[in-house]
Chains A and B, each alone.
Chain A
Amino acid sequence: MASAVSALGWGVALILLPLTGAVLAFVLRPLATRVGVGTALATTLATGGLALALVETGSGRYPIGGWEAPLGIALAADGLSLLMLAMTAAVGLAVSLYVPGYFRDKPRASADFWPLWLFLWAGLNGLYLSADLFNLYVTLELIGLAAVALAALAGSADALAGAMRYLLVSLVGSLFYLLGVALLYHAYGSLDIAILAEQVAASPPVWAALGLITAGLLLKTALFPLHFWLPPAHASAAAPVSALLSALVVKGSFYLLLRLWLTLFGAEAGGLGTLLGLLGAGAVLWGSLQALRQTRLKLLIAYSTVAQLGYLFLAFPLATGLAWGAAVYLALAHALAKAAMFLAAGNILMFGGHDRIADLDRVAQRLPLSVAAFALAGVSIMGLPPSGGFVGKWLLLQEAIAQGAWGWAAVLVLGGLLAAAYVFRVIGYAFTQAEVPQEPHAVPATLGWIAFLLALGAVLLGLVAPQPLALLGIGAPLGEIGTAP
């Protein structure tokens, strides 16, 4: 029992720490960076604490203040939430350490950044720990608003336009979700996922709720063809913000959809899973082709996110433990790799003052660490071994072929080829030689190292697969992850 309380303690800490940090960073503006970095370290440690507690006790539900649902509010944690929390902590810590160097000449932007980012972190942690549909809505809004404000932080006309569109999309998405939740509440009188899971049955209100909630979350996850808002918002934001948006924020709404699908809707969804798979396939192909056409590095990376999110939805028509596990693994690998790519692009942009792909020559020679980070992250994005992307792709491919679903298998292979095409289009230009026309700005070495370490993490994720998959099994949120064909 003692350890169960400590799991609850860690869970509460994971929400309260960044929330407190955000308020402090807002109030003590001159000290925002110190508060922020300190909070990031503490939150990461708390994530580790929760991991240890969960490994010891298994998954659990923790009523806050001792009030069980339906009266009280409960936190819940299992392997799936743990991995998402860990992903958030890993990317969050890296970005938090990156920001002081990146914003070193822009104290205002830095001071604005910290409260927003820590609010965002609190929202994400809350999302992964909530067991209640309305709480989830609150976290979703918190995430959306913080993310929009962060996207606007760059202050350029592009950034503001992108952020405005992002705001509208985010609000519409939340509204759809809320409508769906209201329908469920009206039908069953509860907001607790576990209680609802026992009661939902195929009926018109459930179908309507399923449709509304799925649509809202797809919009927020930017699944093709609802991705239109993502590239401008992600590409025009400041590099560390782009990293957060692409690596973490879209994963939040994906997680929620996955969670609800696993607990509430999976049995009632019918052909909707196939539709999601088709949209995912469309995202993989369309996003990759668009990425190939871009002339700006950050837009290329943003379209790559559209494509990579598509992979996650290929698990829905397959709908087995192995397929879900593969999707989660892909999400983890993508988070690390994409954050590394955006941070590397940020370094390149800072160094040369532009991100035109055809003029990236010489960067490889002047910023070898950042280019190496981009290349290593690219290995995972392409799904080549050894990398987290490869493990996820292998598992998904295995499941697709075992089910005889050759169409999904073809999408996986084709997506990898297209990804190779756009990644190497960039890397190819890094080897050629040309003059640097303008005076480059020095980039602090730590910025290169942070991007590199993230990318290395994405690659190493391919060598330690049994461990994360074992963690994912805590509480069996995905059902049995059988592997033998």
Chain B
Amino acid sequence: MSWSAWAPLAVLASSLVPGLVIFALPESKRRTRTALNLGGALLKLGLILAILWGVSEGQTYGVRLPFLPGLDLALRIGPLSLLFLVLSAGLWLVTTIYAVGYLEGSPHRRRFFGFFSLCVTATVGVAMADNLLTFVIFYELLSLATYPLVVHRGTEVARRAGQIYLAYTILGGALLLLGTVWLYTIAGTLDFTPRGFLERLPESQHPALVGIFVLLIAGLGVKAALVPFHGWLPQAMVAPAPVSALLHAVAVVKAGAFGIVVVVYDVFGVEFAASLGVTTPLAVLASVTIIYGSLRALFQDDLKRRLAFSTVSQVSYIALGVAVAGPIAAIGGVVHLVHQGLMKITLFFCAGNLAETLGIHKVSEMNGVGRRMPWTMAAFTVGALGMIGVPPIAGFVSKWYLGLGALEANQPWVILVLAGSSLLNAAYFLPILHAAWFREPPKSWPEEQRFGSAETGWMLLLPPLVTAALALGVGLFASMPFTPLEWARLIAELEFYPR
């Protein structure tokens, strides 16, 4: 096998192997474990950047291994998968640094980091899948690998949250499996194809295809937290902060959203899906989710729960952009895959810092916290303003393209959804910022820990600063080469304007 075949396998192995070794290491080998974690994360990022360079030079990367008679385990790295790969590998690196700092001294770190690595392995597998079977396999693997992280704290509340998480994801997986097998019996192939592979089927199959679309989107919607499948996400907040970051920005929710993009673009083909009449209901569902999530976020006092409902709302921008079925909205939706990840992970890191350093878990406890932890709150502010859509932060770029695309696709009602959502975002984020920067701090914090003269440990502070800077950077320099926006443009071009 050549390098182009080995590359996808190496990307998988760069986190799978460290994960397995970590399971085998004794709990006390802290340094070795950290070295493995960081080494694996760096190696993976390096590999993916090398592949990125290769792809831009016109190289292709892919491998097929026989899995079932007639069906292969197929991996391929195209532009869309690269977008997701760079995102997850990059954010995994910062999350690993953060997690090492966050879990310092807590028990069961071997188990935690082992499953953490498996999680990322499953995520990059999802990103590289070249047929729906491969996608399903890694998607299910992701559900299983995340469960131990959600219940990591080992409390009764955590166990319950884990059961709820599983109930949702296993049900979603079952729907996805049913849809996939059904599709296979009708189409005879599951290979992802740009602009879809179902157009050639006879018209008599169209009702079945609509049924399959519903099953697939419902299965993916569970992870993407589409209403009414979002119930698990706020529950899963009991998990440690790095896990929340992983769930919300890097892996789980993203895998669902990415899956929706892939099903619409590479299985059905966006134009064929539109002609089946399934994209408008998806757009409506996404819009409902956007508004509903924001409304619920308004009334949460628990900071992480507020952020969780914000995720419910924000991730559906991706589905919305895809479902509007126009090239410009597609750019907005696809680029939001990255933008939301950068902003939301920043917010969760910051929330984790507040909880770890000062014991703050509630919005109502955040008065004046900006003076005690200025750097953390600066990063938080960038993330929050970005979510609202203030230029030049990343979120603005997404919303701009979504709005423009909706007009171009002649669906002006989407503008209303975007405007309403932005107002609501402002309504639940601005009070936090106001309280943090302009109110008087209390006499003492709920549970303060000292880190010398710094506001908190450097391993906790560095990650949110880096991601906040990136969120700012990808917005500010959106039109430079190799930015997420440029990739999203390339992806939309391939889907809408075949050469």
Binding site for B on A (CB under 8 A): 365, 368, 379, 382, 384-386, 390-391, 394-395, 397-398, 401-402, 409, 413, 416-417, 420-421, 424-425, 427-429, 431-433, 463, 465-466, 469, 481, 483-485
Contact = CB atoms under 8 A, between A and B. Distances in A.
B162 A398 contact: no
Contacts of B154: 431-433
Contacts of B136: 385
Contacts of B182: 401
Contacts of B158: 431-432
B257 interface: no
Given A431-B154, A433-B154, A379 B144 contact: yes
A206 B70 CA distance: 39
A484 B70 contact: yes
B166 interface: yes
Contact of A397 (B66, B71, B166, B177): B177
Given A424-B166, A428-B163, A432-B159, A398 B140 contact: no
15 contacts: A384-B140, A384-B173, A385-B136, A397-B178, A409-B178, A413-B178, A429-B159, A431-B148, A431-B154, A432-B159, A466-B66, A481-B69, A484-B188, A485-B185, A485-B186
- The SS class assigned to the B binding surface is helix
A463 B134 CA distance: 12
B171 interface: yes
B363 to A, nearest CB: 30
Interface centre among B111, B166, B177 (most CB of A within 10 A): B177
B188 A401 contact: no
Nearest to B178: A413
Interface in B140-190: 140-141, 144, 147-148, 151-152, 154-156, 158-159, 162-163, 166-167, 170-171, 173-174, 177-178, 181-182, 184-186, 188
Contact of A465 (B67, B170, B186): B67
B166 A420 contact: yes
B137 interface: yes
A432 B159 CA distance: 7
A401 B185 contact: yes
Given A398-B184, A428-B151, A485-B186, 16 more contacts: A385-B136, A385-B140, A394-B68, A398-B185, A413-B177, A416-B170, A424-B163, A428-B162, A429-B159, A431-B148, A432-B155, A463-B67, A466-B66, A466-B68, A484-B70, A485-B184
A466 B151 contact: no
A433 B170 CA distance: 25
A155 B171 CA distance: 43
A382 B170 CA distance: 10
A469 B185 contact: no
Nearest to A364: B111
Interface string B90-107: 000000000000000000
A402 B183 CA distance: 10
B490 to A, nearest CB: 31
A417 B171 contact: yes
Nearest to B156: A432
Given A431-B162, A433-B154, A416 B174 contact: yes
Contacts of B144: 379, 384
Contacts of A469: 69
A465 B174 contact: no
Interface in B107-149: 108, 111, 136-137, 140-141, 144, 147-148
B137 A386 contact: yes
Contacts of A395: 68
Contacts of B171: 417
Residue picked from A386, A397, A485, most chain B C-beta under 10 Å? A485
A297 to B, nearest CB: 17
B366 to A, nearest CB: 31
B69 A466 contact: yes
B186 A413 contact: no
Nearest to A467: B66
B68 A465 contact: yes
Contacts of A413: 174, 177-178
Contacts of A386: 137, 141
A429 B159 CA distance: 8
A365 to B, nearest CB: 8
A433 B158 CA distance: 11
B159, B178, B185: residue with the most chain A Cβ atoms closer than 10 Å: B185
A391 B177 CA distance: 12
Contact of B181 (A397, A421, A484): A397
What 8 A-B pairs have minimum CB-CB distances, sorted nearest first?
A483-B69, A385-B137, A483-B70, A485-B185, A402-B185, A420-B170, A431-B151, A433-B154
Nearest to B186: A485
A59 B185 CA distance: 32
B482 to A, nearest CB: 34
Nearest to B150: A431
A362 to B, nearest CB: 10
Contacts of A391: 68
A452 to B, nearest CB: 11
Contacts of B151: 428, 431-432
A433 B185 CA distance: 46
A398 B180 CA distance: 9
Nearest to A433: B154
Interface string B323-347: 0000000000000000000000000
B133 to A, nearest CB: 8
A428 B147 CA distance: 9
A434 to B, nearest CB: 9
A51 B137 CA distance: 31
Contacts of A425: 163
Contact of B159 (A365, A409, A431): A431
A188 B158 CA distance: 66
Interface in B50-101: 66-71
Nearest to A399: B185
Nearest to A396: B181
Nearest to B160: A428
Residue in B136, B158, B173, B181 whose Cβ sees the most chain A Cβ within 10 Å: B181
A391 B71 CA distance: 11
A384 B172 CA distance: 12
Contacts of A368: 111
Nearest to B134: A385
A425 to B, nearest CB: 8
A385 B184 CA distance: 17
Contacts of B181: 394, 397-398, 401, 409
A485 B177 contact: no
Nearest to A431: B151
A379 B137 CA distance: 12
A398 B183 CA distance: 10
B434 to A, nearest CB: 40
B402 to A, nearest CB: 35
